[in-house]
Amino acid sequence: MNNAQIAAVLDEVADLLEIQAANPFRVRAYRNGARTVRELSEPAATILCTAGRKLTEFKGIGSDLADKIAALCQTGSMPLHQELLAQIPVSVLTLMRVPGVGPKKAAALNKELGISTLDELRAACQAGRVRKLKGFGEKTEQTILAGMELAGSVNQRLTWAEVDGFAQSLMTHLRACPSIAELEPAGSYRRGRDSVADLDLLVVSSNPAEVMDRLAAFAAVETLLGRGDTKMSVRLAGGLQVDLRVVPAESFGAAWQYFTGSKDHNVELRSRAKSRGLKINEYGVFRGDQYVAGRTEEEVYATLDLPWFPPELREARQEFAWADAGQLPKLIETGDMQGDLHMHTTATDGRASLAEMVAAAQDRGLKYIAITDHSKRVSMANGLDATRLRAQWAEIDRLNKSLRGLVVLKGVEVDILEKGGLDLEDDVLAEADWVVASLHYGQQQPREQITRRIVDALANPHVCAIAHPTGRLINRRKPYDVDLDAVFRAARQHGKFLELNSHPQRLDLDDVACAAAKSHGIPIVISTDAHGVEGLDKLRFGILQARRGGLTKADVVNTRPWAQVKKLLRDRRAT
């Protein structure tokens, strides 16, 4: 099992235990374990098979949980998980896909109203029965109704990071097949979309049957959906559909381009081909019946005097206009990054100490990091008041005297209060090197109110950037209702930055908003929001999203040395 599958089982155990009103510490142990496994930079199964390595070396995994994970990897199931599923209708878990319905509310809905399906929940809300339950009320009932559409579609797509876990394991498995000459992913996964419905794989092989047999032997294959001479479809554990196609070598480039998409990009490409008397399909480029090109993608695009397009740009937005003008951007790459300006430690809700985060940053070659623990309003994360924050900053000052090659910035993630204003006084914020402001509460407020809170935060002279500006959680929570155009104008007016949060469930700003911010001349900060050392490796997810937004190295703040970042912030504020 891969890390995403293991984490999903641990999360479900935690949900089931919480529905049963189990000991909160026991519930938290499984949640922490799930988060740790999900953020591991190497497969848990590999660690278990490596001499001298143990899962208990990672925070959040004790010996008992490590044993359960080992059994899960070996057998594909966990006895406790199966016991809990036998006690609680699995359909009750579907209720928790609705924003605002956690394990406790799901348990109450099931116990008090006998609700176990989304349809039953919708009917109960529409009849006004849910609001009568203790702890619900009319507002909660309306929130549940508003989230029903999202809940109904959540299992249709997985986050890119989840699919990446399957894709890398599957391609490693398939590459052991001796008859495969070429193997590449396509579809929305290759384009880097933040969520993916299915995984397309293209293969060149002299023995398609052997390739399909190899796919069928992949451990995560749950259901065979169909098999022909050159195409096979399976469904993996977790619901991901995989479509494998075997294509001729001379058509590989054309097929790769075609099945990568997007549909709109391909429509434009074929329209241009038609105007030149050509035809493009998955088999190649043709003039009449004569084959012209198709071995590589570069060949396909060159027949139309077009450059090769990075897959992330293939959405029929601006890529053709850029190409026609000879201005196709050189997109940002992971190696361009010099700093990470949003992360947490054990001082609030992080899982690693200041020293551990610093060591991890050094291991990854970063030149600077900002420690941005939460302010006091975020009480659930043990947020810092002024006294504790200043004590942390004093520790950072002492630490910097002994560091070489890395600068640790005194930062804070200050909360934007529901009534407006910030959670810490200006005299405190003035002492920080880096201040990110974020909105965690009051996310259901009217559009004008939320927008005003963020715009006012941007006007504060000590705020450097807005973190995860729309508050979305992919497949779990829609963005709050905010006027992003007004936020962009305020950021431009006050010389501030906006964050692209790299957590794979956030990726906030999204790709479209990143492109819009760029058009407004607003530099983007790509940050990990790491809550542990493994979280620092999530930077690549943010880079992928930035590429989809057409961002270059110059568009991203923390590709610069820290001295230049300070100057950029100072200069923008002065204009």
Is residue 78 included in any domain, yes or no? yes
* Whether the predicted model's global pTM rises above the 0.85 cut: no
Q: Examine the pLDDT at 58 and tell me if it is beyond 80.
A: yes
Q: Are residues 240 and 319 in the same domain?
A: no
What is the CATH number for 112? 1.10.150.110
Indicate the pairing of strand 434-438 with strand 407-415.
Answer: parallel
Tell me the pLDDT tens digit for each residue of 527-543: 999 999 999 999 999 99
Burial class (CB in 10 A: 0-12, 13-18, 19+), 399: middle
Q: Examine the pLDDT at 522 and tell me if it is beyond 90.
A: yes
Q: Are residues 320 and 227 in the same domain?
A: no
User: pLDDT band at 150, cuts 50/70/90?
Assistant: low
Q: Are residues 426 and 531 in the same domain?
A: yes
Is residue 329 included in any domain, yes or no? no
Q: Are residues 114 and 169 in the same domain?
A: no
Q: Are residues 366 and 405 in the same domain?
A: yes
Q: Examine the pLDDT at 413 and tell me if it is beyond 80.
A: yes
Quickly tell me which residue has 């508050």 as its tokens: 471
Phi, psi of 223 (to 5 degrees): -140, 135
Q: Are residues 430 and 518 in the same domain?
A: yes
Counting every residue written for the chain, the total comes to 575
For residue 152, the model assigns a pLDDT of: 57
Residue 303 belongs to domain spanning: 263-324
Cα 18 versus chain centre, distance: 26
Q: Examine the pLDDT at 149 and tell me if it is beyond 80.
A: no
One-letter identity of residue 70? A
Q: Are residues 413 and 464 in the same domain?
A: yes
Q: What is the mean predicted confidence (pLDDT) over 475-488?
A: 91
Q: Find the distance separating the first CA and the last CA of the chain, reported in whole Å.
A: 54
Weakest mean pLDDT among 79-93, 414-428, 545-559 = 79-93
Q: Are residues 313 and 343 in the same domain?
A: no
One-letter identity of residue 383? G
Strand-pairing partners, residue 552, are 331
3-class secondary structure per residue, 267-299: HHHHHHHHHCCCEEECCEEEECCEEEECCCHHH
Q: Are residues 361 and 452 in the same domain?
A: yes
Is residue 252 included in any domain, yes or no? no
User: pLDDT band at 283, cuts 50/70/90?
Assistant: very high
For residue 355, the model assigns a pLDDT of: 96
Give the chain's domain count.
Answer: 4
Is residue 183 included in any domain, yes or no? yes
Give dist(CA 311, CA 202) in Å, integer.
15
Q: Are residues 102 and 181 in the same domain?
A: no
Q: Are residues 445 and 554 in the same domain?
A: yes
CB 563: neighbour CB atoms within 10 A?
10
Tell me the pLDDT tens digit for each residue of 419-475: 999 999 999 999 999 999 999 999 999 999 999 999 999 999 999 999 999 999 998
User: pLDDT band at 93, cuts 50/70/90?
Assistant: confident
Pull the structure tokens for residue 518: 């760029």
